[in-house]
Amino acid sequence: MNGIKIKINEEGEKIESYKEMDKEKEKVEGIEEPSKKSREKARKKKVKPAEEMTKQELLVKLKDTEQEAKKNYDLYMRTYAEMENIKKRGEKERAELTKYANESFIKEILPVIDNLKKAISHVQDDNNPSGVVEGLELTLNVLMKTLDKAGLKEVEAEGKPFDPNFHEAISQQIDDTVAPGHVIIELQKGYLLNGRLIRPSMVVISQGNSNKKEDTV
C-alpha cells in the first residue's frame, strides 16, 4: 500500500508540475508580440447590428456613411470629368486631323499654281495672245475653286502692312507712293489652309521716301 501511495504522490507532483509549466507558458505567450492574424483582427472594428445600436451610435454610423458616400460621389465626378476631357481632346484631335489631312498634298500643288500663273502672265504679255491664255485661265480657275473647297485661301500682301506672321521680306525699296513698312511687290503668293499658314508670301517692303539704297533683309 505504501508503494501505491508513493506512486500516486509522484503522479500528482508531475501533474502539478505540468500545470505550473502551462501557467509559465501562458505568461510568456501573453507578453509575446501578437501574430499578424491577431493584429488584423484588432484593427477591424466590431460592427454591431443596427438593432443593437443606441441612438447616438446610429447617428455616428449615419454620419460616417454620409461622408463615405460624399467621398465616393466626389471621386465619381472627378473621374467623369476626366473622361469627358479625354473624349473632347480626342474629338478635337480627330477634327484637326481631318481638317489638315490634305496639307502635304496641297503644298505639292502650290508650285503648279505658280507655274500656271506665270504662264498666263507671259502669254498675256505676248503681242499675239491666243486661245492658250483662255485655256490656262480656265484650268487655273477650276483648280483654285477645288482647292478653295478644301479650305485653301490666298494671303493678302500687296499694299498691306508687312506682317511677319504671314509675309517673308526679301528686300526693301525706296518708294514715294507706298508708306514705309508696307508691301510693294509680292514675288510669290502665300496661302492659308483652314486658317493655318502653309506658305508665307515672299514680298518686297517699302522704305518710303528715303535716300537710302535698296537694302536686303
Report pLDDT digits (tens) over 69-112.
889 988 989 988 898 888 888 888 887 777 777 788 888 888 88
pLDDT score, position 2: 47
Q: What does the pLDDT average to over 134-152?
A: 85
- Per the structure block, which three cell numbers stand in for 116? 500656271
Q: Quick one: pLDDT band at residue 161, thresholds 50, 70, 90?
A: very high
0.75 exceeded by the pTM? no
Q: What strands lie across the sheet with 215-216, from one edge to the other?
A: 183-188, 201-208, 167-174, 215-216
Asked if pLDDT for residue 142 goes beyond 90, the answer is no
Q: What's the pLDDT score for residue 65?
A: 85
Q: Please write the tens of the pLDDT for every residue from 64-73.
A: 888 888 899 8
Higher-confidence residue of 180 and 135: namely 180
Question: What is the pLDDT, as a whole number, of residue 202?
Answer: 95
| Domains (range + CATH), the chain | 78-150 (3.90.20.20), 152-217 (2.30.22.10)
Q: What is the mean pLDDT of residues 29-49?
A: 55
